[in-house]
């Protein structure tokens, strides 16, 4: 089996199947063996583990995952790639290609059918235009995951891993860090892809927490509060929460809740830690 990280092999496969890249599907195939090795190493897979790949392309990363994991499930949306994967993965008996849109897939059913109780890691070069919806689906559904190791746009990775007080810290930072411990694995040059993307990339590992980063009385209220707090970054918490939380007591109640939680109403959301958001959310939960 020829390794697809060889650019000439990748080009030969693409030409033989008359495949044309679609920008709207975010198709940029990895052709750098060094980056491929770092992704697989970060996933820390064994033959007792399972790997879920989203958007396998022509199977470059899939081939490497098949050498390290016991079972690999590759979810591919593009009809045109299914016959290509059938050829490039024909010598990988532990790989199963699931032809579907991952955002419309019942992942709990898929895990039960294909992984049979194995520890599972998601390992993927995600289409950048749907990175956040995919990552949040994986986390919010509380799948039996060890980690999520994904290639994403640099700015998205930096927001996921950001600390309070910086320009990158926002609702995505809190959502990801509530469920996981993020770690930047490596930066990826544009030359690692075919075709080369217009953006810089980063491989990030999201280690799934056994318990959420903070305990909250009501998760829905917690995340609603976070979204409201960051609705307009330049506004104070008092203004954002007053106009976006729609509490029955209006501004007076928001002011009471902030002061009761020890949070200065004139602070901006980007300065609050996840613990402070949790404390404030629990204060709101007592009134609703």
List the binding residues for S-adenosyl-L-methionine.
28, 30, 55, 76, 101, 125
β-sheet bridge partners, residue 153: 201
Binding residue ranges: 28, 30, 55, 76, 101, 125
In 3D, which of 68, 65, 52 has the Cα closest to residue 121? 52
Tell me how far apart the alpha carbons of residues 188 and 204 are, in angstroms, rounded to a whole number. Answer: 11
Other CB atoms within 10 A of residue 79 CB: 8
**Which token pair is 280?**
């404030």
Q: Using alpha carbons, select from 57, 172, 71 the residue that is nearest to residue 124.
A: 57
- CA distance linking residue 74 with residue 96, whole number of Å: 6
Please, what is the Cα angle at 45 between 43 and 51, to 5 degrees? Answer: 80
Convert 124-134 to b/e letters by CB count within 10 Å (16 or more is b).
Answer: bbbbbebbbeb
Q: How far is the CA of 260 from the CAs of 236, 242, 264, 281, in angstroms? A: 17, 16, 10, 12
Which of 143, 221, 277, 207 has its CA nearest to residue 134? Answer: 143
C-alpha span between 265 and 158 (Å, rounded): 27
**219-229 and 274-285 helices, crossing angle to 10°:** 120
């Amino acid at each position: 089996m020829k390794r697809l990280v060889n650019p000439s092999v990748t080009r030969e496969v693409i030409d033989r199947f008359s495949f044309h890249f679609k920008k709207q599907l975010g198709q940029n195939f990895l052709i750098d063996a060094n980056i491929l090795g770092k992704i697989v190493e970060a996933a820390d897979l064994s033959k007792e583990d399972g790997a879920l790949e989203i958007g396998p392309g022509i199977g470059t990363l899939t081939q490497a995952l098949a050498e390290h994991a016991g079972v690999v499930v590759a979810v591919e949306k593009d009809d045109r790639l299914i016959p290509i994967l059938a050829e490039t993965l024909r010598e990988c008996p532990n790989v199963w290609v699931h032809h579907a849109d991952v955002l419309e897939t019942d992942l709990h059913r898929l895990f039960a059918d294909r992984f049979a109780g194995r520890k599972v890691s998601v390992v993927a070069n995600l289409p950048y235009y749907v990175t956040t919806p995919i990552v949040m689906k994986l986390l919010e559904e509380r799948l039996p995951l060890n980690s999520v190791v994904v290639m994403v746009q640099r700015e998205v990775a930096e927001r996921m891993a950001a600390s309070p007080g910086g320009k990158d810290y926002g609702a995505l930072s809190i959502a990801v860090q509530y469920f996981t411990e993020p770690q930047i694995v490596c930066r990826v040059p544009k030359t690692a892809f075919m075709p080369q993307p217009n953006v810089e990339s980063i491989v990030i590992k999201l280690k799934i927490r056994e318990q959420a980063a903070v305990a909250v009385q009501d998760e829905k209220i917690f995340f609603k509060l976070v979204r409201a707090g960051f609705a307009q970054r330049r506004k104070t918490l008092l203004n954002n929460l007053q106009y976006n939380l729609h509490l029955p007591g209006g501004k007076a109640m928001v002011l009471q809740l902030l002061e009761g939680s020890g949070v200065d109403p004139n602070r901006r959301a980007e300065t609050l830690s996840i613990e402070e958001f949790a404390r404030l959310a629990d204060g709101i939960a007592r009134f609703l």
